């Protein structure tokens, strides 16, 4: 039972990815986008958990047989395929209008956050969230002040 709480860093990873995923989802929910708070939080946490399982399983199972080699990022590579499938589900086409591209990209992005946190790369992940948030705010400002031409009904929000 005590071993359960010794791995505090694993719990920190899950909590941090939940916070970052929730933060990204909050932005999407505030813009009335189809995927929001819970969707992004779940994607971030699930990808973190899968990455943790993948990495931790190497040390757990590599000692069983001396000739067994385990690739710790093999499961994480499969996450990318699943995120592509999930992201494709939020892309909608209505005539010549396409909606959901940014939502799909954000699902992929939040998955990358989860993989990065699961792998323990806190600094680069947090830096990436800060940088993309700043540029997203700048993009919104440019669009609102018509500094950059844009189409109406664009999903680029």
| Residue 146: HSE in the Cβ half-sphere, 13 Å Cα cutoff | 2
Residue 151 has pLDDT above 70, yes or no: no
Cα–Cα distance measured from residue 56 to residue 72, given in angstroms and rounded to the nearest whole number:
8
- Name, of 15-24, 31-40, 144-153, the range with top average pLDDT: 15-24
Global pTM reads 0.76
* Boundaries of every domain in the chain: 7-61+71-144
pLDDT of residue 12: 93
Range scoring the smallest mean pLDDT among 32-46, 102-116, 142-156: 142-156
- Tell me the pLDDT band of 14, cut-offs 50, 70 and 90: very high
Range scoring the smallest mean pLDDT among 13-22, 59-68, 123-132: 59-68
In this structure, how many other beta carbons lie within 10 angstroms of the beta carbon of residue 142?
13
In this structure, how many other beta carbons lie within 10 angstroms of the beta carbon of residue 115?
25
């Amino acid at each position: 039972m005590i071993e359960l709480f010794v791995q505090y860093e694993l719990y920190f990873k899950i909590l941090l990815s939940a916070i970052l995923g929730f933060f990204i989802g909050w932005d999407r929910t505030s813009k009335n986008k189809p995927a929001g708070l819970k969707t992004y939080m779940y994607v971030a946490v699930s990808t973190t958990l899968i990455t943790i399982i993948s990495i931790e399983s190497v040390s757990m199972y590599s000692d069983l047989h001396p000739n067994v080699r385990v690739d710790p990022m093999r499961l994480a590579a499969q996450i990318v395929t699943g995120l592509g499938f999930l992201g494709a589900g939020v892309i909608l086409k209505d005539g010549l209008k396409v909606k959901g591209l940014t939502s799909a990209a954000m699902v992929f992005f939040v998955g990358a956050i989860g993989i990065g946190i699961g792998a323990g790369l806190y600094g680069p992940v947090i830096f990436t969230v800060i940088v993309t948030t700043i540029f997203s705010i700048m993009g919104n400002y440019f669009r609102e002040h018509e500094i950059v031409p844009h189409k109406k009904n664009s999903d680029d929000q």
